[in-house]
Amino acid sequence: MNEITISPALETEAEEVLELLKSTLHFQDYTQERFLRNFQNPDYLRHRQEAGACAFLLRDRGKPIGFTESVCRELWLKQEMLLACIGGTLYLKEGEKEALPNLIYTLFDQPCYNLNLANTANKKSAQINKILRSLPGPPSCEFCRFRVLSTHSYLLYASGKLRISSRIPLLVRKWASFLAAPLFSLFSPFRAPSLPPEKTTFISRQIQRIDPDIFDLFWEELLAGNQGLLTSRRTDVLEWTFGKGLKTGRYTILGRFDKTGRLQGEITLERRRNEAGSLYRVVDWIALRKNQDVLGDLLRDAILFAAEKKGFLVELVGFEEKVQPLIAAYLTGKRRLSHGSNTFFVRFKDKQLKKDTPRLADDGWFYGPFDGDSCWV
């Protein structure tokens, strides 16, 4: 008879977690640093006493057979702080699926959390979220908006995503993409209209590090003007999320500043390299008072930056419905995501909050990649 137990995963159990996860190809890149990083999350450290565990191990007679972890994140309803549990890694050994509900509910039913948030990564996780009766995100999370900067590189990138063509040697696909590019460039979305002109006189500048002199006041103003749901952007949270990546070039933050040097809005890009070159994804995008002129200029800055760095694609998912026409003016391409792979599934314990989530999300600034710890699959 099985002796199944679930217990918090501790920092000292990193080796056991790695051994379990690396038994499958899907988690071959999971490292000890990634496991320990979650315990250094500033929001978790601030609320550790009430938040409890951020990871759990499922054991059968003492041997690990399952693992799950989450990210603790402060979420603000106007000026009231709530705690959110953002679902992260979830793994069960083959043949142990009967234990899945226990593992998930142990994580999600911790009394300290007001909200559980998840990004569906595949068909299975989408099914899990439906079982949990989660409230899905808006339609904008079901689509990817993009702008092609290099037709040749985009065709090569797209060919690698197809099962049939991915088996063709890379050199052959490169030549085919090169030859087909002139024809495809005549049609949308490869033939994009010119970028809209700048709408503000605010100064565009790349932000090299998470500087408290810049971001402390910016966060105070964001929070003071918040009328709905807003994920915390305290300086220490931004440092934990983007700090290391800024140094390695994985992340780039572009800001718009007024004449006094105060930040009015920022956009954060994640660079992902592949056989076609560099793809840039928008993982955070926000402006004071949701100023659409500033938001538009930030998108413009991001596209010009990616083009200067020889990137072939800029893409974005999510954000409120009111700004979708603005996004479409800059990112003219649109494609549906398989299984809603960046859809946010919201699970409030408070029934009224759950009912009001769509309105509160639009009243604040919610449903962007940053709200899911910038995760994107």
327-355 pLDDT, tens digit per residue, is: 999 999 999 887 655 677 788 888 888 88
Per-residue confidence band for 360, with pLDDT thresholds at 50, 70 and 90: very high
What is the model's pLDDT at position 216?
97
Separation of alpha carbons 289 and 265, rounded Å? 9
User: What's the average model confidence in pLDDT over 215-233?
Assistant: 96
What is the model's pLDDT at position 9?
86
Quote the percentage of the chain above a pLDDT of 70.
96
Assess whether pLDDT exceeds 60 at residue 359: yes
What is the model's pLDDT at position 1?
42
Assess whether pLDDT exceeds 90 at residue 97: no
Which of 332, 321, 277, 274 is closest to 299 using CA atoms?
A: 332
User: What's the average model confidence in pLDDT over 207-218?
Assistant: 97
User: What's the average model confidence in pLDDT over 134-155?
Assistant: 90
What is the model's pLDDT at position 376?
43
Decide the pairing of beta strands 313-317 and 277-287. Answer: parallel
**Cis peptide upstream of residue 189 (ω within 30 degrees of 0):** yes
What is the model's pLDDT at position 372?
79
Query: What φ, ψ does residue 286 adopt, rounded to 5°?
Result: -160, 150
Give burial (CB, 10 Å; 0-12/13-18/19+) of 260. exposed
Which of 303, 310, 258, 259 is closest to 285 using CA atoms?
A: 303
Per-residue confidence band for 375, with pLDDT thresholds at 50, 70 and 90: low
What is the model's pLDDT at position 166?
66
- Is 140:319 a contact under the CB 8 Å cutoff? yes
Assess whether pLDDT exceeds 80 at residue 25: no
Distance of alpha carbon 368 from its chain centroid, rounded?
Answer: 7
Q: Domains, the chain, ranges and CATH?
A: 4-113 (3.40.630.30), 142-339 (3.40.630.30)
| More confident call, 302 vs 344 | 302
158-210 pLDDT, tens digit per residue, is: 888 777 776 788 888 899 999 999 999 998 889 888 999 999 999 999 999 99
User: What's the average model confidence in pLDDT over 215-221?
Assistant: 97
